[in-house]
Amino acid sequence: MKIHREGYLIIFIAIVLLSVIHVGNYFLYQALGWMWLYILLIVGELTMLYLVIQFFRIPNRTCVFEDNDIICPADGKIVVIEEVEESEYFNDKRIQISVFMSPLNVHANYNPISGVIKYVKYHKGLFLVAWHPKSSTDNERTTVVTEHASGKEVLFRQVAGAVARRICYYVHPNQKVITGEEYGFIKFGSRIDLFLPLDSTINVKIGDIVQGRITKIGNLN
């Protein structure tokens, strides 16, 4: 396991702030002599630091895939599988699969298929809770479309949530990408939407707990 680069500054700030708080707690203990409170506050400080560090953790995973596989782009839970009208890029019907990421999940995002990036766009927006039906179209978000070697295209969208306030993405149009490579990061809870061709094979169901780079969402047929 390693720490994602997006977390370096935040972890440093957390350490500085918790150090200041700890000094204050020590003087409080010196004044009151309440050992139980001092120990309780130390436990709270360490817990907060642990939660910040684990949010930016990147586990060591090997992505094993075949050419037509669609690999899950994020850790989380499948909350949507339905046929919808995709209106930003395709303007036709697609299968939408949404993965909700809680603050406890790994928040790195990965390319679901190999191919060439055809479209990248960032949208300013609201910060509705990530499971809200309109979060996919109204929240702050980025949309990426990758064209597979077969000519089929998959759209995947990072969606900010009520807590998330920064979406990071590292791809650009005409870039060649490989399944399972990191393409972005969302800070502090949100979701990823996938829009797949209607003839795709789907291997997951609503409620499934999934892992980025590991879980096979389905296949391009």
Spell out the domain ranges in the chain: 2-58, 69-219
pLDDT at 98 over 70: yes
Identify the residue with better confidence: 42 or 89: 89
pLDDT of residue 75: 95
What torsion, rounded to 10 degrees, do the Cα atoms 94, 100, 105, 111 define? 10
139 and 189 Cβ atoms separated by less than 8 Å: no
Average pLDDT over residues 161-188: 86
Find the catalytic residue in 114, 135, 190, 200: 190
Task: Work out the pLDDT band at 65, boundaries 50, 70, 90.
Answer: very high
The DSSP letter of residue 163 is S
The answer to whether 16 touches 61, Cβ cutoff 8 Å, is no
Strand 141-147 and strand 216-219: the pairing is: unpaired
List, in sequence order, every residue forming a beta bridge with 72; answer none if it has no partner. Answer: none
* Residue 200 annotated among the catalytic residues of the structure: no
Q: What is the pLDDT of residue 104?
A: 83
Specify burial of residue 196 (Cβ count, 10 A radius: 0-12, 13-18, 19+): buried
pLDDT band, residue 130 (cuts 50/70/90): low
Q: What's the mean pLDDT in 102-126?
A: 90
In the predicted model, what is the mean pLDDT of the chain? 88
pLDDT tier, 131 (very low <50, low <70, confident <90, very high otherwise): low
User: Higher-confidence residue: 85 or 167?
Assistant: 85
**For residue 8, what are the contacts with CB-CB under 8 A and spacing of at least 6?**
none
- Go through the chain and tell me how many residues it has: 221
Nearest in space to 188 (alpha carbons), one of 158, 217, 216: 158
Specify whether the CB–CB gap between 3 and 58 falls below 8 A: yes
- Count of CB atoms situated within 10 Å of the CB of 154: 23
Residue type at 64 in one-letter notation: V
- By CB atoms closer than 10 A (0-12, 13-18, 19+), residue 139 is buried
Sign of CA pseudo-dihedral 63, 198, 92, 118: positive
pTM of the model: 0.82
CATH code of domain 69-219: 2.70.70.10
CA 43 to chain centre: 28
